[in-house]
Amino acid sequence: MLVVKKFGGTSVGNKERIINVAKRCIEDYQKGNDVVVVLSAMGKMTDELIAKAKEINPNPSRREMDMLLTTGEQTSVSLMAMAMDALGVPAVSLNAFQVAMHTTSVYSNARIKRIDTDRIFNELEQRKIVIVTGFQGVDRFDNYTTLGRGGSDTTAVALAAALHADACEIYTDVDGVYTADPRKVPMAKKLSDITYDEMLEMATLGAGVLHNRSVELAKKHGVQLVVRSSLTTEEGTVVKENVRSRGSEISGVAGDDDAARIAILGVDDIPGVAFKIFNILARKNVNVDMILQSVGQGKNKKDISFTVKEEELDIAVKALEDNLSDGSYQDINVSSKIAKVSIIGAGLRNNFGMASRMFEALYKANVNIRMISTSEIRVTVLVNREDMEKAMIAAHEAFKM
């Protein structure tokens, strides 16, 4: 069996943890498995390198930043190979050049295009554990690139796909994917499995232990993921295409308390208005979420509402006031300190009764809903921030998760 195991920066943060991860990988190796390990940079190393760079150049080029940051994973993988060697198991570390991890040229946010698997298979055939730098790649001009947030997860999934691995295990500091954040919903339970689509919605809504891109890639290539703890031997959560039926139709409740709402009231009901508004915001790099358009109060008027991140609220409002002509809207109405609460589940598909069960639960909990938005497998409501946890618990209870 060929297993890809990915460990994040916290798991390799110091000598003891490196040795712990080494032992864990060796256990698997000694069962006769081929083991490929993907590592992130140690603990805070990436942050420290960024700080060092910014001291020298407050606005460093992304090309040079990637050149600097890739030293982080190279340090982890070489130390890990030494640790395994000290434990008597042959190991070899490989960086993006050595693996030939080809990516696009988009520095700091590249996408993997192709992996040459020859070197890895060669090393595995010699019964070595192969340790690969996560997060980094090389473009066609031989420049280093990095994959952006959650990049090492993506590396692991891409490797698992390219090597046709039998398993891809993502080790984190939590022991799996929960029905809700246990810090907010004490009765949250660990899921034994979850679909790619559910995981994607969870990730997007800030509840994810996996980054979106890695889940998308896993879905695309049918790579079955296991999310588990690097500190315990518990089972973890399997992420795959279909899950066996479970007690609840809902896989989880997610909350995101970093939201503000902007409502532009009394906009002329003519073509191109939405484009104009969101183009203004895009040019300011404001991330817009949950867009709703509704019939306005005046004749031939409509209202357009949407959410933004709290810290982008002022920029967004100023950009709109500066760029929308005076007569083209009646008012801009702003609500800060609000939160999004979502229920997610493949079971929501074609079963809108689920949404109304959520609304009922919130009503009984005396939570006021400010906006509603739905996708195929998700229902999201906007609530006041102080109601977020109450709303999450109410929804969680309503679906007997």
Q: What residues make contact with a second copy under the rule CB under 8 A?
A: 15, 18-19, 49, 52-53, 55-58, 60-61, 63-65, 67-68, 70-71, 74-75, 77-79, 81-83, 85-86, 92-93, 95, 97-98, 119, 142-143
| The residue count for the chain | 401
Q: How far apart are CA 291 and CA 74, in angstroms?
A: 43
> Least distance (Å) from a second copy to the CB of residue 109?
18
Grouping H, G, I as helix, E, B as strand and the rest as coil, residue 315 is helix
> Least distance (Å) from a second copy to the CB of residue 172?
23
For residue 252, the 8-state DSSP code is: E
* C-beta of 64 vs 268, nearer to a second copy: 64
Residues 6 or more apart in contact with residue 121 via CB below 8 angstroms: 163
C-alpha distances in Å from residue 323, one per residue of 264, 276, 284, 294, 320: 13, 9, 11, 22, 5
* C-beta of 20 vs 328, nearer to a second copy: 20
> Least distance (Å) from a second copy to the CB of residue 250?
45
> Least distance (Å) from a second copy to the CB of residue 119?
7
* C-beta of 63 vs 390, nearer to a second copy: 63
- In 242-320, DSSP assigns E strands to 252-268, 288-295, 301-308
Which amino acid, 148? G
The DSSP-derived string for 149-186 is TTHHHHHHHHHHHHTT-SEEEEEESSSS-BSS-TTT-T
> Least distance (Å) from a second copy to the CB of residue 63?
7
* C-beta of 53 vs 292, nearer to a second copy: 53
> Least distance (Å) from a second copy to the CB of residue 161?
22
* C-beta of 68 vs 355, nearer to a second copy: 68
The DSSP-derived string for 42-72 is -TTHHHHHHHHHHHH-SS--HHHHHHHHHHH
> Least distance (Å) from a second copy to the CB of residue 135?
14
Q: How many Cβ atoms sit within 10 Å of the Cβ of residue 295?
A: 8
* C-beta of 116 vs 241, nearer to a second copy: 116
C-alpha distances in Å from residue 367, one per residue of 181, 258, 361, 399: 19, 18, 9, 17
* C-beta of 49 vs 372, nearer to a second copy: 49
